Chains A and B, each alone.
Chain A
């Protein structure tokens, strides 16, 4: 039996489509359950990927959600070629949000997305440049916290 290195998933997340918000992260969750990743870890991956997916929709005009599942850890990459974040440190603050009225009316924009992503992942990295886009990488060890 050949060892496989990683199971790769990629989802295109269309921008400004609130109806389908959470679809990609739900699929990722299902795959992780099929693989047999511990439930507590799946919950954190689901929260992190969901917040990433929502940000693609409300802030970036769409992007990609990718996952690489390894036997011992899962990596989630949320990337877009959208407007980028001028001050990442500021954006990482709890409660900081530039979400539109429309997004707020839909229940998004509490300013907790990036802090939640940071807290639920075992490793978190964000690269962003105005006019270039944003890439967030989250790693999750397959171990309960």
Chain B
């Protein structure tokens, strides 16, 4: 029962020089260099995009859609997230950005921030209703975090809050609305997300948490940003008159870490950003070391979605842009969060998460074999192999650590001689053997062939 996983992140073989940078940085040990090229182990990759950030040769790329796909649909809806707005200075009005989107060929816009406003209310209600359980729930907004939980912390799956990711909720709502109003079959409506990261792209093609997903595809924030900027002259001075349902400053805040907590009004909660930190907090949660905490907001990227690997702007600049925009919006909003949300939540029939979310399935990446007896034998063998490896985690073999090489060897994916130290010891042994052999040959001339090679005293496997 081999499962296949769709991945957005792919390595352009021609660009890869086999340097092992990505191998060493990958948070799930999903990359190996084989024959001088990096390869992704599909059952481990969580599409976080860490490799995209770290490759000096730009070999890892996120597979996203081409704008030309819009012509395959009769009606196209675009879902701009806060991270798109974060690319622009706050003086550029949302309306101007929308105008730029319409010029790219979209027919309709739905602000993802508005969906976040809806989901925030659901989160607040859920946490309130479950307050007596003494459980710490985990945000579901970042698909890379969900995938990390699937592969490394499956025991935490029951703690993921059962609400829809905002972009999905937006897609369900707006697609149904347009289908109804324009009398179009849903297959002829394209719904496009603008993604700040590959994990959101991957989640569209293979959602881990949504039944009947409605998003058609994704473009990157950086691609859309540069297209809008190309037409910059056209950003209208005159008013953009099309009615667009817009989210509040709270929904907009979801683009930066901490924003989700603020919009759901949660105070007995923490926000964690950056994959290393997220792993750390998940470890602590798993050990039950934070009892009494209601909620943890997690984003794989530092600073949150504004720091995604597929945005153009530096993350601090983007964070500043978005925070300024939020600040300006708040000046014009009612004074309380409740009143602000009430004023924007006017979409009739906005989907309730309960009908659409499905529990995450664990992804067994760690287990060495489906048969527990075989797996136990493999663990023993792995331990033996590991004892013989240098333990330097140098990465020259193409695996991120000696432990991973040992695992690859028991799984038949690698050979002990892939280890440079093992190889060197073996070469030395062979060289000595050959020298020995040469001494036993009848000498034809007066010279000996002794080149000073001596027998390795005690084969220590390797030198350090």
Contact = CB atoms under 8 A, between A and B. Distances in A.
Contact of B380 (A4, A43, A50): A4
B376 A4 contact: yes
A43 B377 contact: no
A3 B287 CA distance: 33
A31 interface: yes
Interface residues of B, number: 25
B464 interface: no
A71 B372 contact: yes
Contacts of B369: 36
A46 interface: yes
Contacts of B380: 4, 7
B362 interface: yes
A33 interface: yes
A47 B283 CA distance: 11
Contacts of A116: 288
Interface string A73-110: 00000000000000000000000000000000000000
Given A34-B367, A36-B367, A43 B376 contact: no
Interface in B363-390: 364, 366-370, 372-380, 382
Nearest to B284: A22
B432 to A, nearest CB: 36
Contacts of B407: 34
Contacts of B370: 36
A56 B288 CA distance: 19
A46 B284 CA distance: 11
Contacts of A130: none
A58 interface: no
- Tier of interface size on chain A: 20 to 34
A144 B369 CA distance: 19
A114 B370 CA distance: 34
Contacts of B382: 34
Contacts of A47: 287-288
Interface in A35-61: 35-37, 39-40, 42-43, 46-47, 50
B154 interface: yes
A39 B367 contact: no
B286 interface: yes
Given A30-B366, A42-B155, A43-B155, A35 B376 contact: yes
A142 B370 CA distance: 14
Contact of A46 (B287, B368, B372): B287
Contacts of A50: 287
Contacts, number: 59
Q: Chain A CB within 10 Å — which of B377, B378, B379, B382 has the most?
A: B379
Contacts of A30: 366
Contacts of B154: 39
A88 B374 CA distance: 40
Contacts of B366: 30, 33-34, 36
Contact of B373 (A43, A71, A142): A71
Nearest to B364: A36
Nearest to A116: B288
Interface in B196-230: none
A1 B373 CA distance: 10
Q: Chain B CB within 10 Å — which of A26, A35, A46 has the most?
A: A35
Contacts of A31: 379
A42 B367 CA distance: 12
A1 B377 contact: yes
A4 B373 contact: yes
B377 A4 contact: yes
Interface string A1-15: 101100100000000
Interface string B340-378: 000000000000000000000010101111101111111
Interface in B281-304: 283, 286-288
Contacts of B367: 33-36
B377 A35 contact: no
Given A30-B366, A43-B155, A35 B372 contact: yes
Given A46-B287, A47-B287, A116-B288, A36 B375 contact: yes
A138 interface: no
Contacts of A1: 373-374, 377
Interface string A121-144: 000000000000000000000100
Q: What 4 A-B pairs are tightest by C-beta distance, nearest first? A: A36-B367, A33-B366, A43-B155, A39-B154
13 contacts: A1-B374, A4-B377, A34-B366, A34-B378, A34-B382, A36-B364, A36-B370, A36-B375, A39-B155, A39-B362, A43-B155, A47-B288, A71-B376
Interface of B: 154-155, 157, 283, 286-288, 362, 364, 366-370, 372-380, 382, 407
Given A34-B375, A43-B286, A47-B288, 10 more contacts: A7-B376, A7-B379, A22-B287, A33-B367, A34-B407, A35-B368, A36-B369, A39-B157, A71-B373, A142-B372
